[in-house]
A and B are shown apart, each in its own frame.
Chain A
Amino acid sequence: MDTLNLLLDGFGNALTPTNLLYAVLGVVIGTFVGVLPGIGPAMALALLLPITFGLEPTQSLIMFAGIYYGAMYGGSTTSILLNTPGESASVMTALEGNKMAKRGRAAQALATAAIGSFIAGTIGTLLVAFFAPIIADIAVEIGAPSYFAIMLLSLVLVTSVLGSSKLRGFVGLFIGLTIGLVGLDLSTGQARLTLGITQLVDGVDIVVVAVGLFAVGEATWIAAHLRRAPLDIIPVGQPFLSRDDLRRSWRPWLRGTAIGFPFGALPAGGSETPTFLSYVTEKKLAKHDEFGHGAIEGVAGPEAANNASAAGMFVPLLALGLPVTATASILLAAMNTYGIVPGPSLLTDEPELVWTLLASLLLGNALLLVVNLPLAPLWAKLLQIPRPQLYAGILFFATLGAYAVDQNPFDIGLLLAFGAVGFAVRRFGIPMLPLILGVIIGPLMEVKMREALDISNGAVSGLFNEALALVVYAIVALAIVVPLLLDLRRRSRTAPSEPTDEREEATR
């Protein structure tokens, strides 16, 4: 009941005319940017970070919430109307969604995706409002050793469980950790890894890192491989669902939500696993023999799972200060620029901010439905923007974002450097998620590690003297060993005839 009252207070704050305007603005801009091919939610957030600079913390978070859900929905529009999804979370949606579109049911695919996203996002956000305070209450008691262990767990899970190649996952993680080291050591004030460049002493701005990796890396990578033949774009009418479509969609929506939320809330990160699980579930339960030819269940389920896990990630972000997805790490960076440090004490220190944020997430979700269903045909037109101008525009806004932070041309050079890293990462198939989490979580981890070891006066036992830490380490060990064993078993079964490239298990 208490939660409900706080949430209602949050609505009271979010529903001022100004805040409502920012929410609408966020949803529209987010969808606009998210629909553009080549731009996923993380890149949209990174590119749009600078436009919230002048706003108050609350308003900028409200706008961000809108951008976040807008960009997510925009991404699924792209994958339904074009067959090749840009981000891994939309792969499953594209499978059936594009087939539906080809059979002339694009409007129904977009409608079931939009309504499914709305339902999953709403239930997911309500669950966040319910769980985050509980977890924060517990988390206040957690000491540095356990914190360190939990961060390690989240990095290991993201690196070794997700993605197709563990080696490349770890390479990405360590590149990220190295980037995170650049700058002053907080407790002794000594410069690390600055190569003698004074501008690097303050560390690298996360906006520059994210925009370089996502936007410049992506634009240059696409420039090197630009598809010269135009893609087929399927025309859309007004999205609607018939009674029969609705009957077939509502169960997948709810199942998708149930599958998606826990995956987002646990420090396992990513929406690949839940969307995949939801797709497989729907396929198994389907009565119609339509899967593979555009079954509406195959769009409804994964879309709901995707959005529910996107909402779930707010639990570790708000309650523990731990980002588990690329988008969460950019949200964390945005909060840090306002001096807000998410973590167990955030809910007690800044309750107004948190509850307003949660309320505006719910609001943004509802606005999404209102704005996007009627505007879908318009969004579809965006897919026809000529590619040279599209990617020139991305580079324009990337440069503006990097430059506007400090108005220092050096940052444009830095942007290019991270663009080069982003290009290399795409060329070598290194996953982005462990890299960006390494940049963000690395420094947090070092702080907790040194805190724990300071208390124990340097004895390594200082990292193990909490029961929770031990439990988490056990899970870390399992997370490393179990996939390896499964790998070995699979290999001994299929070897030696088949070359066991890691690609086979790939979903990316």
Chain B
Amino acid sequence: MSAAGKDDVRPGHPVDRAQYVLAAVLLVVGVYTIVDARGLTVGFGDPIGPRVFPYAVGAGMVVLSVVLAVATARGDVAEAEGGEDVDLTAPADWLTVAKLVGVLVLAMLLVNLLGWAITGAALFAGCAWALGSRTPVRDVVVGAVLSVGSWYFFYVVLDVPLPPAILDGIL
């Protein structure tokens, strides 16, 4: 690959250490893909079987992880993705991300218990709160309108009843 040459290591330019982590993860995934494929049985009279393709994919992944690690050591730096609302000059705000993940995990755990209408409203309000909204009451109202509205949209227009759970009989 077109990794930067040796003389490109700029002093004072830190190595992108997180990329080593990525390379390690890719290596594990590649090796696991190969190990997993070894456990498959190839049927009698099947010249190829289900193993060959995963072998190729896993092997490719292993090679790429090594190349990526080498490129990282030589000073290759990832170019993070920009966008309309993205400000890459500030350090990453992990607290917000953790809050969002927490809200989504809660939604996953509660959706069968509370039903979509309640969970959806809480999800919207929770995400807005995590992202720094200062209008919690309005967010809950908007969330409730969205989730009850989507429940009825699926039920009436698409004929797909989402579980009402504890609101059974009310919706």
Using CB atoms and an 8 Å cutoff, list the residues of chain A in contact with chain B.
37-38, 51, 53-55, 78, 82, 84-86, 164-168, 170-171, 174-175, 177-178, 181, 185, 187-188, 190, 192-193, 216, 218-229, 231, 386-389, 391-393, 395-396, 399-400, 403-404, 407, 409, 412-413, 415-416, 419, 423-424, 426-429, 442, 445-446, 449-450, 453-454, 456-458, 484, 487, 491, 495-496, 499-503, 506, 508
Contacts and interface: CB of A to CB of B under 8 A. Distances in A.
Nearest to B86: A225
Contacts of A389: 128, 133, 139, 142
A225 B50 contact: no
A429 B86 CA distance: 14
B88 interface: yes
A429 B10 contact: no
A502 B97 contact: no
B40 interface: yes
A442 B128 CA distance: 37
B84 A82 contact: yes
Contacts of A226: 85-87, 93, 96, 131-132
Nearest to B40: A190
A501 to B, nearest CB: 6
B84 A78 contact: yes
Nearest to B133: A388
A192 B101 CA distance: 28
Contacts of B46: 187-188, 454
Interface string B63-80: 010011001000011111
Given A53-B160, A84-B83, A453-B48, A177 B57 contact: yes
Contact of A167 (B10, B58, B71): B71
B87 A409 contact: no
Q: Across chains A and B, which 9 residue pairs bring their CB atoms closest together, nearest first? A: A458-B47, A54-B158, A392-B127, A388-B131, A388-B133, A185-B50, A37-B84, A412-B108, A392-B128
Interface of B: 1-5, 7-8, 10, 18-19, 22, 26, 29-30, 32-33, 36-37, 40-43, 46-50, 52-54, 57-58, 60-61, 64, 67-68, 71, 76-88, 90, 92-94, 96-97, 100-101, 104-105, 107-109, 111-112, 116, 120, 123-133, 139, 142-143, 146-147, 150, 153-154, 157-160, 162-163
Contacts of B37: 192
Contact of B78 (A174, A190, A416, A429): A429
Contact of A416 (B26, B105, B116, B146): B105
Contacts of A496: 5, 7
A450 B43 CA distance: 13
A193 B78 contact: no
Given A54-B158, A231-B84, A403 B153 contact: no
Most buried by A among B33, B83, B139: B83
Given A167-B71, A224-B92, A388-B128, 17 more contacts: A165-B79, A166-B1, A174-B61, A188-B46, A227-B86, A388-B131, A392-B131, A396-B146, A400-B116, A403-B111, A427-B18, A427-B78, A442-B57, A454-B46, A454-B48, A496-B7, A502-B2
Contacts of B127: 388, 391-392, 395-396
Contacts of B49: 188
A429 B57 contact: no
Contacts of A225: 86-88, 90, 92-93
Given A188-B46, A499-B10, A392 B111 contact: no
A393 B68 CA distance: 36
Contacts of A185: 40, 50
A222 B86 contact: yes
B47 A457 contact: yes
Contacts of A416: 101, 104-105, 108
A178 B57 CA distance: 7
Contacts of B58: 178
B47 A399 contact: no
Contacts of A178: 29, 33, 57-58, 61
Contacts of B7: 496
B158 A51 contact: yes
Nearest to A395: B127
Contact of B82 (A84, A187, A231, A403): A84
Nearest to B105: A416
A171 B160 contact: no
Contacts of B32: 193
Given A227-B87, A400-B116, A407-B163, A503 B79 contact: yes
Contacts of B68: 167, 171
B104 A399 contact: yes
B111 A429 contact: no
Contacts of B8: 499-501
B36 A409 contact: no
Given A225-B88, A393-B146, A501 B47 contact: no
B79 A164 contact: yes
A188 B94 CA distance: 44
Nearest to A405: B160
Given A392-B133, A396-B123, A454 B33 contact: no
Contacts of B50: 185, 187-188, 190, 192
Contacts of A426: 80-81
Contacts of B53: 181, 442, 445-446, 449-450
Contact of B60 (A174, A228, A424, A501): A174
